[in-house]
């Protein structure tokens, strides 16, 4: 299991810096979610591989909010309690597209290098 | 519209910060609840679920803080928080806060005051147009020993006519005293006055505040007499009434028309000049042509593109040509020199000011070191608290931030107090030292305030960072352990404090040595012999207006009547008239030849100071008659043919012969017979005695019987009581005549030693201050060490250690930094003492007595400071000490 942790304690994760932002933006791109749900969703979809620490999640959410990519709104949650739901702003949606494209380019390139650069000798 | 969203967020964070903090807490609480709910759904008991969730969640405060770091305004909020916390911690230890602020206030105050003076006097450009192009012009002295001699008017005329380096050039006289007659019931008054040529003000680029400058037509012997008043004289004597313009006032008993009033800041060539008159009008045409009478002070403005070196070379060339054309006259200079006008005006005060500024710099460093030391001690006392906070997740930067904030608060408060202190000090300085050139320019301005800010930041950073080095080095766990069982203090921290102390002691030693040298040279100066009686002698200057006393017998009659009446006043033992009494200045010299000696080789000259005196002068001032007989009062007018010489004159020009009966050819090659040799006197207290020739007062010297003189009277009691009766006598003789400079001999000496007493006193004050600071530092550190080692010392004593041994152990521990500092300070002092050589009189920079007494003083003060904690340690009750743990 990997922890997505590009901020705070411990060493930088094995995921590229800024990836957490991309994951968060993507996770709330369809519907508004609160922090807990975002963490859970990432964990579920990644097949329990990626686990987001609170110590990274909330600073990231607040940073994205300060930068105007996402907007928090207090609404009643499924359990009936008030929770802060995050949605993408228009600018955030554009940012998501851009970051997705970036990520695809980057991961494609990395794949290419790994697969083709030096065919490993069997043996 | 992302920027709109961002601005909205910014405003939100600024205006609803409290609400946002509450919401963040709610958001995190919600997360925690979800976790608990999930745990319970997984089958845990509610207790277990809560516990597990909390453990997974971590420190909610820390989490909140981390999230808040993303918020805008967060750094400001943190800073405000730091300030709040620091204020609270400081308020809990008001004694520490007060002492630190006081120490910094003194350090910053002294620096700001001195910086203000240095900046205003030395660094600010002169208040003239393009002041960097203004040069003061000099001749070399005829023996080439002094490159900065005054200039003969004839030389100036040649420069003005022949040189091409200057766009403007003007000639100025040295200041003299003029009689200002009273009109309409006013008392007569003597004021300092200067003559300058009409083109001086255009050269400087200055205009009168009211009225007009002299014109070339005013600046001629045939013109009507005109004068320009200083702002101060106009306000004081003429009530600031502009209608004085074009009216006539009586100067030296002649009518002068007031044509202008200078602005209040204008003080040229020196402080206290109140009246200016046109030089070519007031001086005789003959005097303005001579090549060998060095009386004047020219100023020039360089043409654009001409360098000072080029100008100097051209001036020198012109002088050299004149010299070569008049090889028979040995008193014509061979070369010329120049100096920027600013340097000429502030020349004397430069070194002392920079020395004092350096001293205040040391004081500030010492103050900072002391505060740093106190902060280190505080950090040491609070290390347990800090360790716990670090263990709970307080970030290191946050802790350092708090620390630096604390020292910043102290420095800021100290800086503000220091600025107020500096204002008071400057007011005091300006009122006591009116003699400093450009004193009118001294004021606190924006640059000074910025300088103060700089000092505050310097102090804060210096004290804060040094002490936080000691906090951050801590390993969290070890410091908790250490704190729980504090047998000895963290050794690193104590070492740091000892180093700080050594530095402090070192700087103190440097200051002490400087102060000691200045003090000693001041004492030497006070003790040096002027060569005359000092007690109960009163002097005053007077000058007869030439217009009213145009005939020589009138002058003689006045002097005789004055002396006769003054001598008959009760309480007066003796009275005499002389050109200048000892200590009153150089006055002027003249060349001479000895008739009985072979002629001097061409180009060589000999000269001596010229004095004129009435026969009673020598007795009145107690100047001893060494041989011969003083001339008598019958030596008058053209018949005067006797001269008295001083001892050094006899030694220098009549080595191995008896000068009595020889003849001097001087003052227009008239012959004077040497009739007596008298004791040496000094024209300035710090200058060695020079050869002097005394001519009879009633002789025709230069242009007839002299019109200005100093009256000196000796009394059997307090001489100052005689001032009024003598002034009344003068008034009876001439209602229009005023006297000036009514001073006792002691006051004359005081005036000429003002500089050195001032510098010595200030430096002494600074060094005493730093000595006290260093002693307090030593005391504090050693007390702290003893407190830290209470248990250890208790054990030692319990195991049978001798109390004397404990005493010497602790004492040595405290004295070690003092020794180190002393060694350091002595080395630096040896290097720096040479820098103040020019301020010393009769004292070598490496004066062993000064160095030894500094060592003795420092060591005894250090020992005194260490003795109390050491004694306390040796008196420890072992049982109490061990139980205290």
- Is B5 in Cβ contact with A91 (below 8 Å)? yes
Per-residue model confidence (pLDDT) at position B203: 93
pLDDT band at B211 (very low <50, low <70, confident <90, very high): very high
pLDDT band at B853 (very low <50, low <70, confident <90, very high): very high
Beta bridge mates, B276 = B194, B228
Q: Give the mutation candidate from B30, B33, B392 for the A interface (greatest A CB count, under 10 A).
A: B30
The SS3 call for residue B61 is helix
Kindly list the residues from chain B whose CB atom is less than 8 angstroms away from the CB atom of residue A58. 24, 27-28, 63, 66-67
Instruction: Report which of residues B403 and B859 the model is more confident about.
Output: B859
Q: Give the mutation candidate from B19, B34, B71, B72 for the A interface (greatest A CB count, under 10 A).
A: B34
- Is B63 in Cβ contact with A58 (below 8 Å)? yes
- Is A67 in Cβ contact with B6 (below 8 Å)? yes
Instruction: Report which of residues B435 and B541 the model is more confident about.
Output: B541
Q: Over 90: is that where the pLDDT of B38 sits? A: no
Q: Over 80: is that where the pLDDT of B256 sits? A: yes
- Is A82 in Cβ contact with B57 (below 8 Å)? no
Per-residue model confidence (pLDDT) at position B487: 44
Per-residue model confidence (pLDDT) at position B216: 92
Per-residue model confidence (pLDDT) at position A15: 54
- Is A35 in Cβ contact with B27 (below 8 Å)? yes
In this complex, which of B9, B33, B66 lies closest to A66 when CB atoms are compared? B9
CATH number listed for the domain at residues A2-116: 1.10.10.10
| Rounded Cα–Cα distance for residues B873 and B482 (Å) | 21
Q: B804-831, pLDDT tens digit by residue?
A: 888 888 888 888 888 999 999 999 999 8
Residues B619, B574 contacting (CB under 8 angstroms): yes
The per-residue DSSP string of B401-427 comes to HHHHHHHHHHHHHHHHHHHHHHHHHHH
Measured in whole angstroms, the distance separating CA B457 from the mean position of its chain's CA atoms is 26
Q: In what order do the strands lie in the sheet with B166-170?
A: B166-170, B299-302, B134-139, B336-340
Per-residue model confidence (pLDDT) at position A6: 39
What's the mean per-residue pLDDT of chain B? 85
Q: B747-757, pLDDT tens digit by residue?
A: 888 877 777 88
The SS3 call for residue B202 is helix
The per-residue DSSP string of B84-126 comes to HHHHHHHHH-HHHHHHHHHHHHHHHHHHHHHHHHHIIIIISPP
Instruction: Show the beta-strand stretches assigned E in B588-691.
Output: 589-594, 607-613, 625-628, 642-646, 663-666, 670-678
Output the six-digit token pair for B353: 């000011």
What's the mean per-residue pLDDT of chain A? 81
- Is A58 in Cβ contact with B30 (below 8 Å)? no
Whether A93 and chain B come into contact, CB under 8 Å, resolves to no
Kindly list the residues from chain B whose CB atom is less than 8 angstroms away from the CB atom of residue A66. 6, 9, 13, 70-72
Q: What is the mean pLDDT of residues B579-594?
A: 85
Kindly list the residues from chain B whose CB atom is less than 8 angstroms away from the CB atom of residue A63. 70
Q: Over 80: is that where the pLDDT of A107 sits? A: yes
Q: What is the mean pLDDT of residues A42-52?
A: 86
Q: Which residue on chain A is closest to B13 by alpha carbon?
A: A66
Output the six-digit token pair for B386: 């800090």
Per-residue model confidence (pLDDT) at position B636: 81
Per-residue model confidence (pLDDT) at position B260: 94
Per-residue model confidence (pLDDT) at position A3: 52
Residues B77, B389 contacting (CB under 8 angstroms): no
- Is A59 in Cβ contact with B67 (below 8 Å)? yes
Element (H, E) at B345: helix B341-381
Instruction: Report which of residues B712 and B751 the model is more confident about.
Output: B712
Q: Which residue on chain A is closest to B53 by alpha carbon?
A: A54
Where do we find the tokens 């490496």?
A: B846
Q: Over 60: is that where the pLDDT of B104 sits? A: yes
Q: Give the mutation candidate from B4, B9, B40 for the A interface (greatest A CB count, under 10 A).
A: B9
Per-residue model confidence (pLDDT) at position B485: 46
Residue B542 phi, psi dihedral angles, 5° rounding: -145, 155
- Is B28 in Cβ contact with A62 (below 8 Å)? no
Percent pLDDT > 90 in chain B is 25
Q: What is the largest CA-CA distance in chain A?
A: 60
Q: Over 50: is that where the pLDDT of A9 sits? A: no
- Is A7 in Cβ contact with B71 (below 8 Å)? no
pLDDT band at A8 (very low <50, low <70, confident <90, very high): very low
Q: Which long-range contacts (CB under 8 A, 24 or more apart) does B647-651 make?
A: B647/B677, B647/B678, B647/B679, B647/B680, B647/B689, B648/B680, B648/B689, B648/B690, B648/B691, B648/B692, B649/B608, B649/B677, B649/B691, B649/B692, B649/B693, B650/B677
Per-residue model confidence (pLDDT) at position B884: 61
Q: Which residue on chain B is closest to A55 by alpha carbon?
A: B63
Q: What is the mean pLDDT of residues B210-226?
A: 92
| Rounded Cα–Cα distance for residues A60 and B176 (Å) | 82
Q: Over 80: is that where the pLDDT of B52 sits? A: yes
| Rounded Cα–Cα distance for residues B269 and B284 (Å) | 22
Instruction: Report which of residues A88 and B786 the model is more confident about.
Output: A88
- Is A59 in Cβ contact with B69 (below 8 Å)? yes
| Rounded Cα–Cα distance for residues A95 and A88 (Å) | 10
Question: How is chain A split into domains, by residue range?
Answer: 2-116
The SS3 call for residue B374 is helix
In this complex, which of B26, B30, B67 lies closest to A62 when CB atoms are compared? B67
| Rounded Cα–Cα distance for residues B871 and B864 (Å) | 11
**Residues in Cβ contact with B285 at an 8 Å cutoff, skipping those fewer than 6 apart:** B221
Per-residue model confidence (pLDDT) at position B490: 56
Whether the ipTM is more than 0.95: the answer is: no
Q: Is the peptide bond before B269 cis (omega within 30 degrees of 0)?
A: yes
**Residues in Cβ contact with B399 at an 8 Å cutoff, skipping those fewer than 6 apart:** B386, B389, B390, B471, B472
Best CA proximity match to B130, nearest among B159, B166, B163: B166
């Amino acid at each position: 299991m990997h922890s997505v942790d590009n901020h705070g304690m411990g060493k930088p994760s094995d995921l590229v810096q800024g990836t957490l932002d991309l994951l968060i933006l993507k996770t709330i791109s369809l519907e508004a979610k609160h922090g807990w749900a975002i963490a859970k969703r990432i964990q579920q979809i990644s097949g329990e591989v990626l686990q987001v620490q609170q110590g990274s999640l909330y600073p990231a959410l607040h940073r994205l909010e300060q930068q105007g990519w996402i907007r928090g709104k207090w609404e009643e949650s499924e359990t009936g309690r008030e929770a802060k739901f995050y949605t993408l702003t228009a600018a955030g949606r554009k940012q998501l597209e851009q970051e997705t494209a970036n990520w695809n380019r980057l991961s494609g390139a990395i794949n290419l290098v790994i697969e083709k650069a030096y065919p490993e000798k069997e043996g | 519209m992302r920027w709109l969203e961002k601005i909205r967020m910014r405003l939100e964070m600024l205006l609803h910060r409290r609400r946002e903090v509450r919401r963040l807490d709610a958001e995190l609480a919600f997360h925690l609840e979800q976790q608990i709910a999930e745990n319970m759904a997984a089958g845990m008991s509610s207790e277990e679920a809560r516990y597990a969730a909390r453990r997974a969640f971590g420190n909610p405060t820390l989490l909140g803080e981390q999230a808040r770091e993303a918020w805008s305004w967060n750094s400001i909020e943190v800073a405000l928080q730091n300030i709040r916390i620091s204020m609270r911690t400081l308020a809990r230890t008001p004694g520490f806060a007060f002492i630190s602020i006081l120490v910094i206030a003194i350090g910053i105050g002294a620096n700001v005051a001195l910086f203000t003076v240095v900046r205003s006097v030395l660094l600010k450009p002169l208040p003239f147009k393009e002041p960097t192009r203004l040069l003061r012009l000099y001749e070399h002295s005829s023996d080439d020993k002094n490159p900065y001699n005054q200039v003969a008017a004839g030389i100036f005329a040649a420069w003005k006519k022949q040189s091409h380096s200057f766009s403007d050039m003007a000639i100025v006289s040295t200041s003299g005293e003029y009689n200002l007659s009273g009109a309409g019931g006013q008392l007569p008054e003597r004021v300092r006055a200067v003559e300058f040529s009409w083109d001086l003000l255009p050269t400087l680029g200055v205009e009168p505040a009211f009225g007009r400058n002299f014109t070339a037509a005013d600046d001629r012997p045939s013109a009507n007499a005109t004068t320009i008043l200083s702002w101060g004289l106009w306000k004081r004597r003429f009530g600031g009434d502009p209608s004085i313009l074009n009216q006539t006032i009586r100067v030296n008993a002649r009518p002068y028309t007031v044509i202008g009033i200078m602005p209040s800041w204008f003080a040229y060539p020196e402080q206290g000049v109140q009246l200016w008159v046109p030089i070519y009008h007031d001086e005789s045409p003959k005097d303005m042509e001579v090549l060998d009478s060095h009386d004047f002070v020219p100023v020039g403005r360089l043409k654009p593109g001409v360098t000072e070196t080029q100008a100097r070379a051209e001036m020198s060339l012109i002088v050299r040509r004149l010299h070569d054309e008049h090889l028979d006259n040995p008193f014509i200079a061979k070369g010329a020199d120049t100096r920027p006008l600013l340097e000429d005006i502030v020349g004397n005060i430069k070194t002392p000011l920079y020395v004092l500024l350096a001293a205040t710099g040391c004081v500030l460093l010492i103050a900072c070191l002391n505060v740093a030391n106190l902060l280190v001690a505080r950090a040491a006392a609070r290390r347990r608290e800090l360790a716990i906070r670090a263990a709970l997740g307080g970030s290191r930067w946050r802790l350092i931030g708090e620390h630096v904030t604390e020292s910043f608060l102290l420095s800021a408060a100290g800086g503000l107090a220091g600025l107020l202190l500096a204002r008071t000090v400057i007011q005091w300085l300006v009122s006591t030292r009116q003699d400093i050139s450009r004193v009118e320019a001294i004021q606190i301005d924006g640059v000074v305030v910025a300088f103060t800010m700089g000092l505050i930041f310097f102090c804060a950073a210096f004290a804060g960072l040094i002490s936080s080095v000691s906090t951050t080095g801590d390993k969290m766990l070890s410091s908790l352990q250490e704190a729980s069982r504090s047998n000895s203090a963290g050794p690193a921290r104590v070492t740091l404090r000892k180093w700080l102390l050594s530095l402090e002691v070192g700087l103190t030693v440097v200051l002490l040595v400087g102060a000691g040298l200045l003090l000693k040279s001041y004492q030497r100066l006070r003790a040096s012999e002027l060569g005359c009686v000092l007690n109960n002698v009163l002097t005053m200057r007077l000058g007869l207006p030439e217009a009213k006393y145009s005939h020589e017998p009138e002058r003689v009659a006045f002097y005789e009547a004055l002396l006769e009446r003054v001598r008959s006043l009760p309480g007066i033992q003796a009275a005499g008239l002389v050109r200048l009494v000892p200590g009153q200045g150089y006055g002027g010299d003249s060349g001479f030849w000895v008739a009985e000696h072979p002629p001097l080789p061409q180009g060589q000259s000999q000269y001596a100071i010229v004095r004129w005196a009435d026969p009673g002068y020598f007795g009145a001032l107690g100047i001893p008659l060494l041989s011969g007989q003083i001339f008598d009062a019958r030596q008058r007018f053209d018949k005067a043919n006797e001269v008295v010489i001083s001892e050094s004159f006899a030694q220098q020009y009549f080595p191995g012969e008896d000068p009595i009966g020889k003849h001097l050819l001087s003052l227009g090659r008239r012959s004077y017979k040497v009739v007596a040799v008298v004791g040496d006197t000094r024209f300035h207290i710090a200058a060695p005695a020079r050869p002097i020739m005394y001519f009879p007062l009633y002789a025709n010297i230069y242009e007839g019987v002299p019109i200005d003189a100093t009256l000196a009277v000796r009394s059997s009691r307090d001489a100052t009581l005689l001032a009024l009766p003598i002034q009344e006598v003068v008034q009876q003789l001439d209602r229009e005549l005023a006297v000036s400079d009514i001073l006792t001999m002691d006051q004359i000496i005081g005036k000429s030693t003002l500089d050195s007493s001032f510098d010595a006193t200030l430096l002494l004050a600074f060094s005493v201050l730093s000595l006290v600071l260093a002693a307090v530092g030593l005391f504090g550190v050693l007390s702290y060490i003893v407190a830290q080692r209470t248990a250890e010392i208790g054990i030692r004593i319990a195991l049978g250690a001798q109390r004397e041994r404990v005493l010497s152990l602790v004492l040595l521990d405290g004295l070690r930094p003092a020794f180190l500092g002393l060694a350091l300070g002595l080395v630096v002092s040896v290097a720096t003492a040479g820098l103040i050589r020019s301020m010393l009189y009769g004292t070598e920079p490496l004066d062993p007595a000064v160095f030894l007494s500094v060592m003795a003083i420092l060591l005894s003060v250090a020992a005194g400071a260490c003795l109390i904690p050491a004694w306390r340690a040796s008196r420890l009750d072992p049982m109490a000490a061990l139980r205290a743990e």
